[in-house]
Structures are given as C-alpha cells and as structure tokens.
Amino acid sequence: MHVRNAATDSPGLFSFPHPVDEVSARLVATGVVLQCVAILVTGWTVLLVLLTWGFVARVATGPTLSPLGTLVTRVVRPRLAWAARDTPGPPKRFAQGIGATLSVGALVATVLGAGSLAKALVAAILVAASLEAFVGFCLGCWMFRLLMRTGLVPEETCEACRDLWGTR
C-alpha cells in the first residue's frame, strides 16, 4: 500500500497539496491542540512564535516548511498502517489561513501587551483544532463551503469541493 506523502508529492515549494490526506490533517491538528494547550498553560511567547510560523508555513507550502507538518508527513504518518483518506486541498488551505490569521493576531496582541486577547485567539485556535483532531470536523472547511455556496469563492476554485459532505 502506498501512502501518499504530501511533503514529497506536492509539485513545488510554494504549493499546497491537493488532495490532502485527512489522517495527516487530523494528526497536524492534534499537534496544534498540544501547542495551544502549552501556550495557554505556560504563556511562553516562543511557543506562540512556533505556532504562528507553522500556520504561515502550511498556508504557503503545505507541510514542506512547517516543522509540525514535516514531522507528521515524513515521520509519523508513514509509520501508521491506516489507509489514506483523500480530501480536497483548498478548504484545508483556507482553514490553515484562518489559523495563520488568528495566530498572527495573537502574536501581535502579545507583543502589544494585550495578553487576554492573545489567549482568546489561541483558545479559538484550540477549539477549531480540537474539532478537527478529535471529531473530524474542519471548521475552516465548513466556512469554505459556505463561501462557495454564497458565490464568494468560485466553484472553479475547487471542483471537488462542490459537494464535500454529500448534501448538494
């Protein structure tokens, strides 16, 4: 059985894999949950910098420049016997973009001394990542679908996304 490796199978450095292995996405989300909990418990800014870098890197390059993405796709995922479950890439990239926006906001809030705002933004990331990791519900993907339904995201962006949950 060949397990697709998004880190090595993507066409270029600044590309995002399409499709994405859902198992890898949930494993990355689990890592994000752990990072968020560590940030909320310790308050260490360096952990927030790492979280932010990871999101920005995943938006720009998929798992290629993300330490967590690379760990999951090159070390953890290949050792798991679970079958790959492909899911469209564009909604996952959109979800990573939301995480990047929230984590950059949290980092800026931290630098400006707005610790409560930073914690609230990290908590929001924690909730969304927990939904993905433990329930398999991608909040960003759901939002992407709504944007497609309203016409704000053209259907050509992701033909496979038109009916992500078989409800159309």
Question: Can you state the angle between helices 139-149 and 89-111, rounded to 10 degrees?
Answer: 120
* Mean local confidence (pLDDT), 68-97: 90
Long-range Cβ pairs for the range 153-160 (8 Å, 24+): 157/90, 158/18, 158/88, 158/89, 158/90, 158/91, 160/19, 160/88
Check: CB of residue 32 under 8 Å from CB of residue 134. Answer: no
Domain boundaries, the chain: 13-138
> What is residue 5's predicted lDDT score, i.e. its pLDDT?
44
Model confidence band, residue 164 (pLDDT cutoffs 50, 70, 90): low
Please return the burial class of 65, using the count of CB atoms within 10 Å of its CB with bins 0-12, 13-18 and 19+: middle
Residue 162 has pLDDT above 80, yes or no: no
Model confidence band, residue 18 (pLDDT cutoffs 50, 70, 90): confident
Q: Which residue has the tokens 């992407």?
A: 144
The two structure tokens encoding residue 108: 């800026």
Q: What is the pTM of this model?
A: 0.84
d(C-alpha 38, C-alpha 47), whole Å: 8
Greater model confidence, 21 or 118:
118
| Residue range 89-148, pLDDT digits in tens | 889 999 999 999 999 999 999 999 999 999 999 999 999 999 999 999 999 999 999 999
